[in-house]
Amino acid sequence: MYHPNREIKRTLEQWYSSGEAPPAIFELYPTKKCNLSCRTCIQHELQKKNVAELTDEEFIRIVREAIEWGVAIFYIGGGGEPLLRHDLVIKLIELIKENRRGGSLTTNSTLLRESDLEKMVLMGWDDIHISIDGPTAEINDYLRGSGTFEKAVRALGWLNKYKSRHGNRSATEPFLNLNFVISKKNYRFMLDYLRFARENNADYVLFNPMILHDPSRSYLQLTERDWEEVKVIMDQARALAGELNLRTSLGDIGEPASGSGKKGEGPSPSMNDSGALPPWNNLKNKLHEMLKGKNEKNMSLENAFCLKPWYHFVLHSDGYAGPCCIYKNPEINVRGRPLREVWLSEFFSQLRRAMLIKALPPSCRACPPIMLEEDLRLKKTLLRMR
């Protein structure tokens, strides 16, 4: 199993000692296309855009360069379904593990083949995220499409069969994460979902509150009144997760900011003008605190607003790059360019400086709460690891 914090720490230390370092984590999105049209997802809007995607050869070339330069961890995912480019993804998985790198795959699981999962177990693939939005077909299929629950459960069965057959159950490889988007349709079933996760040998459950990408989906958004009930359910879910010995993200979910909707009935939380979820109260205070002292006197990584520009590289399917899934530069493309040149380009250099002096680009000010919280946790962890 890979250790992101350890690799991030090593990368930051290299920045300190030599002034440059390869990314610790390389995240790549083989495609923005998807075979589903989930009600809570933004992708059905993005897919309307015609995108010239990188070829298989271009993806393989840049991943080879990343491996040779010392990148330790690779995440394969993205807004679309990566297995729509099945052969490419399998080649990348093999390339990553042949070179003893850490790897994670995020998928809706509907295109997974039984042979894929056996191969992943045998090679010791580290981590797989499967998106399922309910503990039953009735709930999940309403949100994700007819037949998707059956296909996901089938994939879980294959995975557990080969873990058992090849003796990897105790090693939890691949480590199984289930992703659940909390919406008005499914929030009352979070306890049942935890039981479903345990029955299917999940190692972790990632609960994410729905972000409203499309106003026509507002009927799925939680109201303030719903959130009062959600808080009670989450307390029960935390207790149940402890009984089931199941790790979850429930400890990272705060309550929505007050005034984000009409009392009792209005949507909460909702999109702001920048298209992102308004920070919850506990994160809003932290954001304001982090933006204090906007000057060049404290230009050290410990005081940077966000550390991702130093350790995290995201490659989109069209070749454009950035430090996270939110921010990509339309002028930075890997087509015909070495990874090192792109990572050390003026764009990334200026972005790192902006993080140090807290002169944030607009995209960063719209950072979703879960990503902001992730960066805060990382900084606390790195301080403890000194």
244-265, pLDDT tens digit by residue?
999 999 987 765 544 333 344 4
Confidence of residue 381 (pLDDT cuts 50, 70, 90): confident
Arithmetic mean of pLDDT, 300-315: 90
- 180-219 pLDDT per residue, tens: 999 999 999 999 999 999 999 999 999 998 888 788 899 9
131 or 49, higher pLDDT: 131
pLDDT for res 380? 82
169 or 60, higher pLDDT: 60
CA distances from 322 to 18, 111, 311, 364 (A): 22, 28, 11, 12
Percent of all residues in the chain with a pLDDT value above 90, rounded to a whole number: 66
pLDDT at 220 over 50: yes
pLDDT for res 172? 63
Structure tokens at 286: 């932290």
Q: In 3D, which of 318, 366, 327, 363 has the Cα closest to residue 348?
A: 327
Bridge partners, 129 (sequence order): 106, 177
Bridge partners, 315 (sequence order): 28, 321
Percent of all residues in the chain with a pLDDT value above 70, rounded to a whole number: 84
Collapsing DSSP to helix, strand or coil, 333 comes out as strand
Confidence of residue 289 (pLDDT cuts 50, 70, 90): low
Task: Judge whether 22 and 11 are in contact, CB under 8 Å.
Answer: yes
354 or 272, higher pLDDT: 354
Confidence of residue 60 (pLDDT cuts 50, 70, 90): very high
- 172-191 pLDDT per residue, tens: 689 999 999 999 999 999 99
pLDDT at 118 over 80: yes
Q: Which amino acid appears at position 150 of this protein?
A: E
**Helix (H) / strand (E) containing 377:** helix 369-384
pLDDT for res 167? 72
pLDDT at 288 over 60: no
Separation CA 135–CA 59 (nearest Å): 36
